[in-house]
Structure formats: C-alpha cells, structure tokens
Structure 1
Amino acid sequence: MRVLISGGAGYIGSHTVVQVVAAGHDVVVVDDFSNAKPTVINRLEALTGTHIPVHAFDLTDRDKTERLFADERFDAVIHFAGLKAVGESVDKPLEYYENNLGSTFSLVRAMRRHGVGKLVFSSSATVYGDHAPVPYREDYEPLAAASPYGRTKVMIEHVLSDVAAADPGLKVALLRYFNPIGAHPSGTIGEDPQGIPNNLVPFIAQVAVGRREKLNVFGDDYPTADGTCERDYIHVEDLAAGHLAALTALEAAPAPVNVWNLGTGTGTSVLEMLHAFERAAGKEIPYEVVGRRAGDLPAYWADPTKAHEELGWRATRTVDDMCADTWRWQQGNPNGYPDA
C-alpha cells in the first residue's frame, strides 16, 4: 500500500513510519513541524534505507490538502497530526478545537473525494473520562473526556463513525491508547518534547541526563499500592506495531468502524517507573513529593483483549525495556533532535 502518515515526524508517527516501511509499504509524510523537527526525517531515511517524501504544511489548509491528494495516489491514511497537551488545551481550547477538528475535516474530505478508503485514527484513552470502570473497555459509553484535548478526540471519533456509516467505501480504525514511552532500540529516534515535558518519563529522563534538577511526584496519598498514580505505560514500538496491525486488519474488517485499545492491561505507579528508570540509568534520580495535581485519576489501564483477539496484537515489551530504550535515546540526544 501507499500510506500517508499525518504527523509522521512526531513521536509516535516517526516510529510508525519505520514499521510501516519495514512491512513493505510506501510511506509519504505530511507534517507542519509545529511539534517536531525536520531533522527527524534524515534519521527515518537512515533507519529505513529509503527516501521518505515529506509535505510540510498544516492540514487545516483545505486547498493544500486537496492538492496533495490530487497530485498523489494513496491507499490508506494513518492520522496522528494534532495538538496534544492536556494542560495547554485548557488554556487554549479554541486552538485545539480548530486544529484537531479542522485538520480531520480537511483530511477526510480529500480522502472521500479521491477514493481513499482506509483510515487509522490516533485516538486516546482520555476519551473514557473520569467515571469509566477500570480496566477501560471499548464498549463503554458515554465517552466523557475531561479536557478540551480529550473532547476533540471524542468529537473526531463521532465524526469518523458518522462519515463511515454514510460512506460504504470508508473503513476506520479508532485506536485508543494509553501512555506511550520508550524509543527505537537504535536510540536514533525518540520523544523530544518541546519545553517542559508534560509526561512522566520524558521528565525523569531529563532529570537523569542533567537537564532538570528533580522530579516532582504529584501526591503519594492515592488509594494505590504505593500511594502514587498508576498508569498503563506502553512501549512506542508496541504502539507502532498496533497501528500497522490495524492498517492490515482494515482490509478485511466487516465493520465500517473498529475500535481497539492499545495498552498492556497493567498499571505501573509513578514510583515504580522512577525506580525502573534508576535501574536503566544505573543511578538514583532525585525526586520530591508535592501536592496532588488537579484532574489526576488514581489509576487506570486498558483491557486489551479485543486487540489481542481481532488484531493478533499484544504489547510485548516490559517497563524495564521502555526505560532502557528511553535512556539510550536520551543519553545519545541529551537536548533532543538538533534544530538543523
């Protein structure tokens, strides 16, 4: 297949590019580089041994999106592009709705006009909201995300479901995933957050490499084994494999819309993750327990049974694998990707 990967220069997108190419498909990337650096593309070409065409523009631009589909033939789209910081979405809700919804409208409109019938969408476990029972299952309703970012994912899921129901030529995979961490085992691509990391493991990695003084642990009085929040962490390589499995499965999928959780089915606490990273780095990592952070749930994780049964996919890498690969990436790239 010839696959367009939107946001293909980003953290999850870049790892997915490598696996989709390795599976024998041709890949084209579209990315506006608002949350990624162009230098990742050279590394992707080195890892894959192939030229990867890149179109640098914002998918909310309908004319440029239409021109891309008019000029090139695609069999499928994997859609990662979008703004993704939960906290920032609370401060800038309109930007999040405009960008995440607008880019999807533009993309799907062009897909339909040019007969591209397969779409894998990067959704999120945040769609389940604060009241879903743990572990999260795909059939839970109603979806009630607690942030503007999460609500854009809920809205896009509804939009894609409605469009697929009305268009027999379109099949959609909605992938709800949990907390991606880790890096490519080569250490050449990994997570490069802009500014202060919003997520736990990149922050720990930056403390370990000396970019930050210490980790703040937000609360140790939750009803969990050690009092710190528990999350379902998944290696980005397993997550990329899940996108490839979903892409492959869409060909024969009987339903127009297919929803799969991509997670390990196991919760790992903040302190457990910290200690796993200490094992990987071979040193203690300073931390301080501070007050709880608004909106944090005590614990959640996936029920990944449906993906096991329908995709033949499962997460295989351990928390120690995730930390070792993150540390290899961070040591080799202490300041992330170079600017040029």
Structure 2
Amino acid sequence: MEVLVTGGTGYIGSHTVVELLNKGHKVLIADNLSNSSKTVINRIEEITENQVTPYFIDLVNKEDLDQVFKQNKIDAVIHFAGYKAVGESVEKPLKYYKNNLESTLNLCEVMENNGVYNLIFSSSATVYGKPDSFPIKESFSTKAYNPYGRSKLMIEEILTDLSSSNDKWNISLLRYFNPVGAHKSGKIGEDPNGIPNNLMPYITQVAVGKLKELKIFGDNYNTIDGTGVRDYIHVVDLAKGHLKAIEKIDANNGMEIYNLGTGHGYSVKQVIDAFEKASGKQIKYSIVDRRPGDISTSYADSSKAFNQLGWKAEKDIHDMCRDAWNWQEMNPNGYE
C-alpha cells in the first residue's frame, strides 16, 4: 500500500514508518517539523535501507496538503500530526483546539475530495477521563479533563460522524496508553522539546546528566507504593499495532476503536527501579504535589485488538527501559 503518515518524523510516527517500510509499504510523510527534525528521515532510511518521501508542510495549509494527494496514489493515511503536551494545552487551549481540529478537518476534506477513505487516527487513553474500574475497555464512557484530551475526543466524534455519513469511510481510532522505549538500533527515539512532559524521557535525561532530578507528582495515591500507575507500552509494539490496523482497514470494516496497551500497570517507582537495573544508573528524585487532573491508575484491556487484529504487546518493562536508555546514551542531545 501507499501510506501517508502525518507527523511521520515524530516519536511514534517515525517508529511506525520504519515498520511500514520493513513490511514493503511505500511511505510518504507530511510533517511541519514543529516537534521533530529532518534528521529523522535519514535515520529511518539507514535503519530500513528504504527511501521515504517527505513533504515538509503544515496540514493547516489545505492547498499544500491537496498537492500531496494530487501527486501520489495514496491508499491510506495514518494521522499522528498534532500538538500533544497536556500542560501546554491547559495554558494555551486555543492553540491546541485550532491546530488539532483544523488540521484534521483539512485532512478529511482533502482525503474525501481525492477519493481516499482509509484513515487510522492516533488517539489517546486520556479520552477515558477518570474510569471507575480497570482494566479500561473501549466500551467505557469518555470524558477528557484537559484541552489536549478534549481535542482528541472531539476529533473522535468528528470521525464517528464522518463514518456515519458515508459508508465508504474505513476508520480506526487507536487509543494509546503510555508509549516508551525506542528502536533497538538507537537511531530513533523520543526527543521532546524543552523539559519532557512524559516520565521515561525525563528519567533518561536525568540519567544522562541533562536534568538534575526527577519530580514525582504525588506519592499518596491508593497504589502499590503511593505513586501513579500507568500502562507503559514499547513504542515498537505500538508501531506494529498500526500495521495490523492497516491490514484490517483494507478489508472495508467501517469504524472501529482499539486500545493499544499491555494490560499491566507499573508505578512510577517501579519504572525507576526497572530503569536503574537496565541502565546501571541511579535516578535521583523528589516528591512534589500531585498535578491537577491526574488519576491514580490507568491500564488497558487490549483484548479487542488481539481478537480482531491479531495484535498484542510483546516487549516488557525491561525492554522499554533498556531501549530508552540506549537511545539517550547514543544521542545525549537528541537529534541535535
């Protein structure tokens, strides 16, 4: 298939592009590089020994996006592009709503105008809000507690309406839990701008000496050790989930929602312990106040993805920590 990957030089996008190329798909990337680097293209091609076709455009510019479709015979789109920092979304909600919604609306309009109806959307477990029970199933009610999460939920609702309006559309909504790790080569990984928003890159930057210590937001949750518990999934496992979704979406199955997680939660302190064992580095940390809106526990029921897509996560917390450290140690300043 010929697949357009929006945000394809980003963290999850780049790993998905690698898996697509390794399976023989032709890949186009559309990315404005607002949170990534052109260097990623070279790294992807080194890993796969295949070429990728990049378009350094912004999806907000509909004319540029339309030209990508006019110049190629695209079969399906995987849509990663969008702002993703929860904290920033609270400070700048209009920025998040404008970019994430407008870019998706433009993409859907351009796809429809060019007769392309296969779409995989990068959603998030944040759309579940604060569930009453665990593991989290796709059938649970949804409610987001920050502008980032609400933008994901709004897009899900837009795509649901779109699918209902025209049975040509085949849409998969993939709700990720907590992606971590990196490609085993160490050539691509998570390279956040500024202070990391997610746990693993924060830990790795402390380990490599870029940051002084890790701040743990609360140690008085009702969990095994008082720190928050999350379902961490290796980014390569997550990328392979997109391959399975591509295979399924090509069979014209309307709209489906899938959780992508391991089904097992780890606390912050358990992740620190696992990382210290994998890296041989000691991670200094301090306890600070909880963040508003954080929940104590979150982990997935991914049985639907296993039953319908034949997908399940294969890598464990040791693999995640080892590969994250390998990436950071090989690239102490990220892609710079």
TM-score by length of 2: 0.98
> Aligned partners of 1:80, 1:308: CA distance in 2, in Å?
22
Could you tell me how far apart the structure 1 residues matched to 2:200 and 2:227 are? 14
1:56-95 correspondence runs (5 A): 56-95=56-95
The answer for the alignment partner of 1:189 in structure 2 is: 188
In percent, how many aligned pairs have the same letter?
Answer: 52
> Where in structure 2 are the equivalents of 1:37-116 lying within 5 Å?
37-116=37-116
Q: Secondary structure at the match of 2:287?
A: strand
- 2: CA distance, partners of 1:293 / 1:75: 42
Q: CA deviation at 1:265?
A: 0.6
1:19, 1:215 → 2: CA distance?
32
Residue type of the alignment partner of 1:334: P
Tell me the SS of whatever aligns to 1:67.
Answer: helix
Q: Deviations over 1:49-107 (max 9, x none)?
A: 12211101110111111122122210000000000001100111111011101111111
Distance 1:122 1:188 in 2: 23
- Cα shift at 1:132: 4.6
Q: Deviations over 1:236-272 (max 9, x none)?
A: 0000000111111112253x11000000011100000
Alignment of 1:1-340 (within 5 A): 1-141=1-141, 143-254=142-253, 256-338=254-336
Task: Spell out, residue by residue over 1:289-337, the C-alpha distance to the aligned partner (whole angstroms, 9 max, x if none).
Answer: 2222222100111011100100000001000000000000000000100
- The answer as to whether partners of 1:124 and 1:176 remain within 8 angstroms in 2 is yes
The offset of 1:139, in angstroms, is 1.0
1:260 partner letter = Y
Aligned residues: 336
Range 57-66 or range 326-335, more displaced: 57-66
| 1:318/1:131 CA distance change after superposition, 3 Å | closer
What's the CA shift for 1:278? 0.3
CA separation in 2, counterparts of 1:294 and 1:150?
14
Structure 1, residues 124-170: CA drift from partner, whole Å, max 9, x if none?
Answer: 000011245321110112x2100011011111011111111111211
Q: Considering only aligned residues, what root-mean-square deviation do their CA atoms show, in Å?
A: 0.9
Secondary structure of the residue aligned to 1:279 is helix
Amino acid at match of 1:82: G
Secondary structure of 2:233 counterpart: strand
State the SS of the aligned residue for 2:298. coil
**AA matched with 2:235:** V
SS at 1:95 equivalent: helix
Question: d(CA) in 1 for partners of 2:18 and 2:256?
Answer: 24
Verify the 8 A CA contact 1:132 1:140 in the aligned structure 2.
no
Q: Please, which runs of 5 or more residues in structure 2 have no aligned partner?
A: none
Asked whether the equivalents of residues 3 and 75 of structure 1 are also in contact (C-alpha less than 8 Å), the reply is yes
2: CA distance, partners of 1:285 / 1:90: 29
Where 1:137 maps in the other structure, the secondary structure is coil
CA distance in 2, matches of 1:113, 1:292: 47
Q: Which shifted more, 159-168 or 310-319?
A: 159-168
Amino acid at match of 1:185: K
Could you tell me whether the CA contact under 8 Å between 1:175 and 1:260 is conserved in 2?
Answer: yes
Q: Distance in 1 between matches of 2:287 and 2:156?
A: 37
> When the two structures are superposed, what TM-score results if normalisation uses the length of structure 1?
0.97
Range 218-227 or range 3-12, more displaced: 218-227
